[in-house]
């Protein structure tokens, strides 16, 4: 029979939200156990240089920053484990969680910091340059700066794509926006702003066929206009994908309230509380607006402090 492990604090996910929660929880003597999840370090491990996290005047690479956060969490004896949580039962006072190999954990508090994953088109060439850090990105705020005074292409037609295209238009000489249908999905005001920006060129009914490059760096994209079936090439050094994010929250859906797109709903704005007492959320799993490492870290801190107060009120 497998032994059930009872712990004061379980942290699920290892991005900036999870590690910050771990640092605070460990220093408050809550003996946190962290399961790192499918992608240890989270989304930042797929970015290159991070220049906007305060305290790094010379910048830092995403993977390096995550290693430092992990080291800081370990310094205070966070029990960091590889593996992920595949099932939960939050129907009773103690929160039951199971790992992929069937290990059962009963946690007094749970901090969900499972993040979100950017959606990509799934083209081989896109994945090739994404992995190399050669010019494919899903975050204009993170990476736009590297393409200043250059020409970029962005795919998508929602609010995110419009916001990011507008952001890029201030840095780049030209932004070409690829919209797969003949209209935007974005709100009218966001779409109008894009349409009224001189250096944003919008191609409707247009899909990406291939990201072009020299093997190392992106040099353009090959696209097709679906209404004319005409193929063409657009030169660019950066290819931005802004077709939405998928929050990693499916495992919690039977117990935790999610919004219509799968993001966890805060039960009480201004806190990290979910609808289940003792279960808190931090980072992108509940944030479709800001999605920054620094905001994730901030909410990680909030979740640990809220969990600590919850335990204290229970007399732990």
By annotation, the residues acting in catalysis are 139, 142-143
The structure tokens listed for 312 are 């204290």
57, 65, 165, 151: CA torsion to nearest 10: 70
Among 288, 295, 298, 301, binds ligand NDP (CB under 6 A): 288
**What is the number of the residue whose Cβ is closest to ligand NDP?**
158
Q: Which positions from 73 through 112 interact with ligand NDP, judged by CB under 6 A? A: none
Minimum Å gap between C-beta 288 and ligand NDP is: 5
Question: CB-wise, 110 or 155, nearer to ligand NDP?
Answer: 155
| SS3 call for 245 | strand
Question: CB-wise, 128 or 180, nearer to ligand NDP?
Answer: 180
Among 75, 131, 181, 195, binds ligand NDP (CB under 6 A): 181
The answer to the question of residue 202 lying near ligand NDP (CB under 6 A) is no
Size of site (CB under 6 A) for ligand NDP: 16
Question: Between β-strands 238-241 and 136-137, what pairing exists: parallel, antiparallel or unpaired?
Answer: parallel
Q: Which positions from 148 through 167 interact with ligand NDP, judged by CB under 6 A? A: 155-161, 163
Please tell me the distance from the alpha carbon of residue 113 to that of residue 22, in angstroms, as a whole number. 11
Please tell me the distance from the alpha carbon of residue 298 to that of residue 282, in angstroms, as a whole number. 8
Please tell me the distance from the alpha carbon of residue 144 to that of residue 268, in angstroms, as a whole number. 34
Please tell me the distance from the alpha carbon of residue 70 to that of residue 110, in angstroms, as a whole number. 19
Positions in the binding site for ligand NDP (CB under 6 A) = 121, 155-161, 163, 180-181, 185, 243-245, 288
């Amino acid at each position: 029979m497998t032994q059930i492990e009872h712990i004061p604090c379980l942290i699920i996910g290892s991005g900036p939200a999870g590690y910050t929660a771990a640092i605070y929880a460990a220093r408050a003597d809550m003996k946190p156990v962290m399961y790192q999840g499918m992608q240890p370090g989270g989304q930042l491990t797929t970015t290159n240089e991070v220049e906007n996290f305060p305290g790094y005047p010379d910048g830092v690479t995403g993977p390096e920053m995550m290693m430092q956060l992990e080291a800081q969490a370990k310094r205070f004896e966070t029990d960091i484990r590889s593996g992920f949580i595949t099932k939960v039962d939050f129907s009773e006072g103690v929160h039951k969680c199971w790992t992929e190999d069937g290990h059962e954990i009963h946690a007094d508090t749970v901090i969900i910091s499972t993040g979100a994953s950017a959606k990509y088109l799934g083209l081989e060439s896109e994945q090739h340059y994404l992995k190399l850090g050669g010019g494919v990105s899903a975050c204009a705020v993170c990476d736009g700066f590297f393409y200043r005074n250059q020409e970029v292409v962005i795919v998508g037609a929602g609010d995110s794509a419009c916001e990011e295209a507008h952001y890029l238009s201030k840095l780049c000489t030209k932004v070409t926006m690829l919209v797969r249908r003949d209209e935007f999905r974005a709100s009218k005001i966001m779409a109008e702003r894009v349409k009224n920006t001189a250096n944003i060129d919008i191609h409707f009914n247009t899909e990406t066929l291939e990201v072009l490059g020299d093997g190392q760096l992106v040099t353009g994209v090959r696209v097709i206009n679906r209404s004319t079936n005409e193929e063409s090439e657009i030169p660019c050094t950066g290819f931005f994908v802004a077709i939405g994010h998928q929050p990693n929250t499916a495992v919690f859906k039977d117990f935790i309230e999610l919004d219509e797109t799968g993001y966890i709903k805060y039960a009480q704005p201004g806190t990290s509380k979910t609808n289940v007492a003792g279960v808190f959320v931090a980072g992108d799993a509940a944030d479709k607006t800001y999605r920054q490492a620094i905001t994730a870290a901030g909410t990680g801190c909030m979740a640990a402090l809220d969990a600590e107060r919850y335990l204290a009120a229970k007399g732990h």
